[in-house]
Amino acid sequence: MLCLAYVLLEAKGDDMRIRGPKFKQWATSELDPFRHTAIMWSGLQLDVQIKLSEGVTLIFIGIYKNTGDRVFEECYGTLHKDYPTAVNWALYMAEQAMKAHLNQVG
């Protein structure tokens, strides 16, 4: 099981990540997200953002190398109506994406 130990990052305006089209689609929404950022033990940077809108939870998951290069980005629209379930689901999906990346690189 991948350890989700992390060090929280402080947001400093625009970050240095190289964003892809999934993030740009996500960013056009007018809702303000809850944001969880972390640096994992592997050096990968995790960016999870959650927006609630009329019973639908919108989730963005981004994983980046320490250089800012994009490893994984995806947007999800879920029917999770409560915030804690959405957070747990998003962190689980991020963990699966990180495992897949780490398995690919050896």
pLDDT at 30: 62
Reference 2, options 95, 90, 66, 94; nearest CA is: 95
Instruction: Report which of residues 35 and 22 the model is more confident about.
Output: 35
Q: How far apart are CA 53 and CA 69, in angstroms?
A: 30
Reference 39, options 72, 6, 17, 15; nearest CA is: 6
Domain residue extents for the chain: 17-105
Q: How far apart are CA 33 and CA 45, in angstroms?
A: 18
Instruction: Report which of residues 70 and 24 the model is more confident about.
Output: 70
pLDDT surpasses 60 at 13:
no
The model carries a pTM of: 0.68
Q: How far apart are CA 98 and CA 42, in angstroms?
A: 9
pLDDT tens string 35-91: 888 888 888 899 998 887 766 788 889 999 988 889 999 988 876 667 788 888 888
